[in-house]
Amino acid sequence: MTLPGNSPPKYSAETGEWGHLPNEPCRFCRQPGGVHFMIDDGPEGRSGHQPMRCDLCKRTWEAGEATA
């Protein structure tokens, strides 16, 4: 939660934080609402390769141009 006058928290790959994609369907179960991605501000994240997970079916994959 961000209070007025405060900046939002800065996310970094070192803390292993995850972003949520509420409308993205899972690659495996095709259900929207459970897909998360590792917030990565390093070279892998900038090149488009990010770990993904689905909290609904518990599967993981790597997002990237080669796997799109």
Closest by CA to 57, choosing from 39, 35, 41, is 35
Name the band, by pLDDT with cuts 50, 70 and 90, for residue 63: confident
Q: Tell me the mean pLDDT in the region 53-60.
A: 94
Domain tally, the chain: 1
The partner residues of 20 in beta bridges, in order of sequence, read 36
Query: Does the residue 52 lie in any domain?
Result: yes
Q: Does an H or E element contain 38, and which?
A: strand 35-38
Query: Does the residue 50 lie in any domain?
Result: yes
Query: Does the residue 3 lie in any domain?
Result: no
Q: How high is the pLDDT of residue 51?
A: 87
Closest by CA to 37, choosing from 11, 63, 59, is 63
Give whichever of 11-15, 38-42, 64-68 has the largest mean pLDDT: 38-42
Q: How high is the pLDDT of residue 40?
A: 73
Q: What are phi and psi of 57, to 5 degrees?
A: -105, -5
Query: Does the residue 32 lie in any domain?
Result: yes
Give the β-pairing of 50-54 and 35-38: antiparallel
- The boundaries of the domain holding residue 35 are 17-67
